[in-house]
Chains A and B, each alone.
Chain A
Amino acid sequence: MILTVAWRNIWRNKRRTLITVASIFFALFFGLLIRSLQIGTFGKIANDAVSSYVGHIQIHQKGYWEEKIINNVFERNNEIETKILQHESVKSIVPRIESFALASAGVRTKGCMIMGIDPDRENNMSSIASKITEGQYLKQDDIGAIIGDKLASFLDLKIGDTLVMIGQGYHAVSAAGLYPIRGIVHFPSPELNGRAVYLTLPMAQDFYSLDNQLTSMSILLNDNDDIAEVKKYIGEITGDKEYEIMDWRELLVELQQLIESKQVSSNFMVGLLYMIVGFGVFGTIVMMTAERWREFGLLAAVGMKKIRLILTVFIETIFLGFLGLLAGFAVSLPIMIYFYKNPIILVGEMAATYEEMGFEGVMVASVDLPFMINQIIVVAVLVLIAVCYPVFKLIKLKPAQAMKA
């Protein structure tokens, strides 16, 4: 009967109920959408960086990350590579030489970022071939280069033209080479478009006068959660302290910091939203308590214990909370799924801002269950905090006084 009373009480003042349910609905709806887009977008940025270039783990010569010079290279070791690949969590290993040189064509010269790659393995990870806008991707034994479209435009290079590169090789040896342009590539990042030059690994080693040496080995895992385990495994395989083994969080410290700072501002907004809604719900419950104070007095007078009165009010609030949460979740879930499958393509200044930071101008929603549950719990806790008011009032209820109210 308490359930009946609680349920009917909810619909006794439909407008109040609808306002309360709407408050809870909008709190959860906006909270979920904001958090979903934030988590989805930053997750995508981090995931893109990890899965398309950085990898979950990188191996370098000790000291390379502090001082990224061509002297800090390590000998490629097939035995170690094979053992790493044997670990069930390891998806692929991508060997690289990354350094700098001057790129020149005609009278124009620009500092560029040389990436010596294994074309097949690199393409499996970074899908560079799909980003080629002119020409073709590198073959395994190619002697040519592919370059970013902005760099090509700056140097006025077309497919078949020759790129001149000059730099400093291993232990200060002069580095120079001529490379026919095989393809022009477009990346979401303007930085890469303006500076990237890809060569095959042997051509890059030859340019920098390296033997079988690398600046990095990027390791892609099947699951982000296995990082610690694989790092430990690699440490055991490599044994000595010649290498530095870093995960993507250590490699992308600035990105992590950027994401965290954005999260703080977004959390503040969501917190503010919840606070406003929390006060709204609290106000409605205060009003409801005042309106029904005489009725509570009557119920206590005829023998309803305070604990049952509290339970009735609690159940009513739970009903209201449940309705609001259910509606908020039911409406926001399809929207989140839609924006998960159809990311929002940013345009104008917002897109430019993203691209300046080196990210694709895209906002995508997350549909991860844990964050949704967190948001639901937060709103539910707000509702439960609001119900404390009638609970404390009811504890002090005096029937005779309440009935005079």
Chain B
Amino acid sequence: MKIIEVTNLHKIYNSSEVKVHAVRGIDLSFEQGEFTAVVGPSGSGKTTFLNMMGGLDNPTEGKIFIDGINIGELKSSKLTDFRMKNIGFVFQAYNLIPVLTAKENVEFIMHLQGRSKNERNERAISLLEQVGLGDRINSRPNKLSGGQQQRVAVARALASKPKFILADEPTANLDSDSTANLLDIMENLNREENITFIFSTHDARVVKKARRVVTIEDGKVVSDLTK
């Protein structure tokens, strides 16, 4: 089942001095349950592409359909709502709210969704246990390692029961063990619960795990391989 369809996507950044054509006509689609890596060198347009798919940035041209809805037509407030209900995010760094504990970070998005306190509590604990942090639920981000923080971010991304998770270079700041651990968790979630993951990365370990690898260079898709 196709959950994302991108057609003729362009992004041009107009600064006062230069015009940067970051994404140049991408056409792609993603199915439910994919475990996909979007790869490419720095500055190739990976993050811009993911940001547009996540509704964090507007395309200059082209359309993005998520579950048949053209997100480009949604107004700012509706788009925020749409993101909250449909898309989970894991960013490279500065992922968590520093004043909240791991559990509260996971609960936060459910609070925004208006879920009951009991439901929030149970699901947050369950998700943190799933990512191996059942014993750190009351720790604040500054008391967690980088890998642990990213696992909390994965739990938080899952909390809203999204249609897919976009992860922008989630392992970029992690050591080998943490990277392996995080990838195992995400792979298990993908295999066991059919959760769709789309990564941007240039980490070979992530690419190795991915079942589909889309390569972007100079804002264009240069290859799209399914293993």
Contacts and interface: CB of A to CB of B under 8 A. Distances in A.
Interface in B7-56: 51, 54, 56
Contacts of A333: none
A9 interface: yes
Interface string A192-216: 0000000000000000000000000
A398 interface: yes
Contacts of B108: 1, 302
Contacts of A370: none
A298 B57 contact: no
Interface residues of B, number: 28
Interface stretch (B79-87, B127-135, B212-220): B79-87
Contacts of B76: 306
B89 A301 contact: yes
Interface stretch (B63-71, B98-106, B177-185, B191-199): B98-106
Contact of B95 (A9, A298, A400): A298
Given A12-B99, A298-B95, A303 B80 contact: yes
A269 interface: no
Contacts, number: 68
A162 to B, nearest CB: 88
Nearest to A294: B94
Contacts of B113: 303
A49 interface: no
A264 interface: no
B107 interface: yes
A305 interface: yes
Interface residues on A, range: 20 to 34
A91 B104 CA distance: 68
A302 B158 CA distance: 11
A276 B45 CA distance: 47
A295 B56 contact: no
Interface string A275-319: 000000000000000000011001111111111100000000000
Closest 8 CB pairs of A and B: A303-B84, A8-B99, A400-B57, A400-B56, A400-B51, A1-B111, A399-B56, A303-B83
A403 B80 contact: no
Nearest to B156: A302
Given A303-B85, A400-B51, A1 B91 contact: no
A8 B100 contact: yes
Given A8-B100, A303-B112, A400-B56, A298 B91 contact: yes
Contacts of B104: 1, 4
Max count, chain B CB within 10 A of own CB: residue among A8, A9, A400: A400
B226 interface: no
Contacts of B98: 12, 295
Interface string A21-56: 000000000000000000000000000000000000
Given A301-B54, A398-B57, A403-B94, A5 B80 contact: no
